[in-house]
Amino acid sequence: MLITCPYCGPRDVIEFTYQGDGNRERPDPASQNFEAWNAYVYDRLNPAGDHNEIWQHSGGCRTHLRVVRNTLTHEISSVAFVRGDHASTARRKAEDKA
């Protein structure tokens, strides 16, 4: 299985660390909604087919990646930076400081 890191190009899966299901949404750290926390920690979609998941290129550039991979064929259809999810917020904060 090869994962194409947007920085480093196609690399063997052995360079990456699986960080699991990327569909889960972490509740606000201040949240006291126990059901939401329980669901975040324990419940999984576990689909047979395309799976949205997080990998880290731990043996390379160490970037966290959002990967869509088919769990029936192991075929990877997209790889993107996780931080892209929050890029606009991150940029905004940097501008605030400046």
Q: Which residues bind other proteins (CB under 8 A)?
A: 1, 12-14, 18, 20-21, 35, 38-39, 41-48, 51, 53, 69, 71-74
The DSSP element (H or E) to which 2 belongs, if any, is: strand 2-5
Q: Which is nearer to other proteins, 47 or 90 (CB)?
A: 47
Residue 96: CB minimum distance to other proteins, A: 36
Residue 11, judged by CB atoms within 10 A of its CB (0-12, 13-18, 19+), counts as middle
Nearest approach, Cβ of residue 65 and other proteins (Å): 13
Whole-angstrom distance, CA of residue 26 vs CA of residue 81: 18
